């Protein structure tokens, strides 16, 4: 066998080995990402259940308890960021991503309901935003709307933003969509109970918020919980 042929075969074997190593390293990393998301979701499920139970136990005086979903909302946002990144890496069609998104949406709905219950019981008025988007290529303004909401959420930490993939096949989400009467004209927002469609710019979106809610960044809270 000539040196050229021999070295060609060895080089090919090395190349295949290197490419496979990289391929499996990426797969390992993505599997670890999914495992991490599972772990965060499991913890959040526990926290949500704990909060829910705490709320039920202290139903008589929930406002004087430590019951608050504020921390959970922050963790939910962090989980949302990670999930969005994992979706970008693995693709929205990935079965694991889809499952995690369903679980995440359920957690969001649960947190939204608890927030509403606490508000009703304690007489507070937290401002919530339900944001419905699609990444199926049929929503040209969804990325911009999502970024604007991220800005509002980061600037006004007590603003509660819940993002939902409109096309997700999840019973609870379908129920929420029909309860809120959300049409498939995306992006759609439910801001403090009022539904609006479409996104032009940040100023127009801010105009949809109740007066005074967005006037004082961070320091003043739009929500008053019993913990305070």
Partner 1 sequence: MGLQALAYPFLFVAIFFEAFVLVTFLSKDARAARARKPARRDAPDLPSVAVIVPCWNEARTVGATVESLLALEYPAEKLEVVLVDNASSDDTPAVMARYAAHPQVTLLREEARGKHNAVNAGIRQCEAEIVGCLDADSFVEPSALLAMVPCFENPSIGATTAAMSVHEPGNLLQHMQNAEYIFGIARANALSVVHGIHVTPGPFSLYRRALVQSLGGFRAAYQTEDLEMALRLQRAGYKIANAPAARVYTKAPATVLKLVKQRTRWTSGYLRNVLNDYRDMVGSARYGALGAITLPLGMLAIGSGILLFALALYQVVHGLVEAVSLRAGIPLSYALAPHASFGWFYLPASLYTLLAALTVLIAAAMIVLGKRISRTPGSLTAGLFGYVLLYGLIAPLWLIRSTADVALGKTRAWR
What is the contact surface with partner 1 in residues (CB under 8 A)?
2-4, 7-8, 10-12, 14-15, 18-19, 22-23, 25-26, 29, 32-33, 36, 81-82, 85, 89, 91, 143-144, 147-148, 150-151, 154-155, 201-203
Strands 194-197 and 188-191: antiparallel
For partner 1, the closer CB: 7 or 174 = 7
- Tokens 């090919």 — which residue? 12
Taking the complex as a whole, the smallest distance from the CB of residue 211 to partner 1 amounts, in Å, to 20
Query: With respect to partner 1, which residue has the nearer C-beta, 88 or 193?
Result: 88
Determine whether 222 is exposed, middle or buried from the number of CB atoms within 10 Å of its CB (0-12, 13-18, 19+): buried
- Residue 77 near residue 153 (C-beta atoms within 8 A): yes
- In sequence order, which ranges of 58-137 are alpha helices (DSSP H)? 70-90, 95-122
Kindly tell me which of 180 and 201 has the beta carbon lying closer to partner 1. Answer: 201
Cβ atoms of 98 and 116 closer than 8 Å? no
Rounded to a whole number of angstroms, the minimum distance from the CB of residue 34 to partner 1 is 11
Cis peptide before 187, with omega less than 30 degrees from 0? Answer: yes
* 157/177 Cα distance (integer angstroms): 25
Smallest separation, CB 160 to partner 1 (Å): 19
Based on CB atoms, which residue is closest to partner 1, 92 or 224? 92
- Rounded CA separation 210/207 (Å): 8
The distance of closest approach from Cβ of residue 10 to partner 1 in the complex, given in angstroms and rounded to an integer, is 5
Neighbours of 22 (CB within 10 A): 10
Separation between Cα atoms, residue 57 and residue 76, nearest integer Å = 24
H/E stretch holding 4 reads helix 3-57
Nearer to partner 1, 159 or 173 (CB): 159
Q: How far is the CB of 226 from partner 1 (least distance, A)?
A: 31
15/56 with CB nearer partner 1: 15
Query: Least distance from C-beta 22 to partner 1, angstroms?
Result: 5
């Amino acid at each position: 066998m000539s040196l050229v042929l021999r070295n060609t075969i060895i080089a090919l074997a090395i190349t295949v080995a290197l490419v496979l190593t990289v391929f499996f390293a990426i797969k390992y990393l993505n599997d670890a990402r999914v495992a991490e998301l599972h772990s965060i979701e499991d913890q959040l499920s526990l926290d949500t259940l704990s909060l829910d139970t705490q709320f039920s136990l202290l139903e008589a005086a929930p406002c004087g308890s430590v019951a608050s979903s504020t921390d959970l909302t922050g963790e939910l946002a962090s989980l949302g960021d990670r999930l969005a990144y994992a979706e970008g890496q693995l693709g929205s069609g990935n079965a694991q991503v889809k499952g995690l998104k369903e679980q995440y949406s359920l957690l969001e709905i649960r947190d939204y309901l608890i927030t509403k219950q606490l508000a009703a019981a304690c007489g507070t008025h937290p401002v919530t935003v339900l944001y419905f988007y699609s990444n199926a290529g049929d929503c040209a303004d969804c990325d911009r709307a999502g970024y604007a909401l991220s800005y509002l959420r980061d600037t006004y930490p007590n603003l509660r933003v819940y993002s939902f993939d409109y096309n997700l096949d999840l019973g609870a989400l379908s129920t929420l969509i029909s309860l809120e009467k959300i049409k498939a004209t995306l992006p759609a927002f439910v801001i403090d109970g009022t539904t609006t469609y479409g996104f032009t710019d940040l100023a127009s979106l801010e105009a949809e918020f109740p007066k005074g809610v967005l006037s004082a960044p961070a320091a003043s809270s739009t929500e008053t919980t019993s913990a305070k």
